[in-house]
A = this chain, B = another copy of it.
């Protein structure tokens, strides 16, 4: 089951968590210096080695090459958070090894040779790190990643030097957003060496109240230290957001209940629904579920967010016309919720 089809721990605030390692092979130049032939050779070498390392991988994993699929298929993987924007933008051939439940994705020829990512529903940073580390060790044993004794793993961009590890969480923060305290939160988090930014639109008023929290510093810290630091910030944010939600509900019960229930009514009854509207109403619904106002399931909310994205509707249903997508999105909402 993909992260957007499953509920996880603390789904009321933490939509998903992700760990990714940036790694490079000593036997190749960095991607920005490579030719198309070298890129293809690297993709071939890593994927062959990967599939041969474990008999079950041939069933579990698929290899998707950027030059063999449409731009929309790549954008869909991006909307599902399975590949990065940098991988799409790379003018050279790139590829991704993706397992069935879409929890493990190994990007080849992104900004680095390898971007190994594990994404899980809810608050599962520890579990994600464990799985990512296992795959990292497997590949390290086969290739021997480029490493400096003092600096640690070498990466294309210095911000990834050292552990090459980025742990992140997609957080739903409607109460922090409504009370405008999110701005203050962005600053505090920055001082701790972490960063938080809107998933849809930058800044303090992210649409859908969805934010991505991640560590900024990778140098001079062990994986465990990064995990501990990120977890401690997630814990604090979850606790502040949860408390604020209760305060808001107490202070504006009618308004909050009305907003949530009307958003549900609109999602369930619309004839046409823009992506922007869906993101907003789904945010209300997620808050409503957390506060016990509606019984919509978190995973259905995430599913609709992903399946209703323009890229998904284009690549999975062939809907090129934005108005046709709005009609289909309204039907999806009826079906899924």
Contacts and interface: CB of A to CB of B under 8 A. Distances in A.
Contact of A264 (B258, B269, B272, B326): B269
A327 interface: yes
Copies of the polypeptide in the assembly:
2
Contacts of A266: 262, 265-266
Contacts of A258: 270-272, 330
Interface residues of A, number: 20
A66 to B, nearest CB: 35
Q: Is the interface of A mostly helix, strand, loop or mixed?
A: helix
Interface string A268-299: 11111000000000000000000000000000
A257 interface: yes
A261 interface: yes
A330 B260 CA distance: 14
A291 to B, nearest CB: 12
A270 B257 CA distance: 8
Contacts of A323: 254
Interface string A225-262: 00000000000000000000000000000110110111
Contacts of A262: 265-266, 269-271
A284 to B, nearest CB: 12
Given A254-B323, A327-B254, A268 B265 contact: yes
Contacts of A267: 265
Contacts of A330: 258
Closest 5 CB pairs of A and B: A265-B269, A265-B265, A257-B271, A258-B271, A258-B272
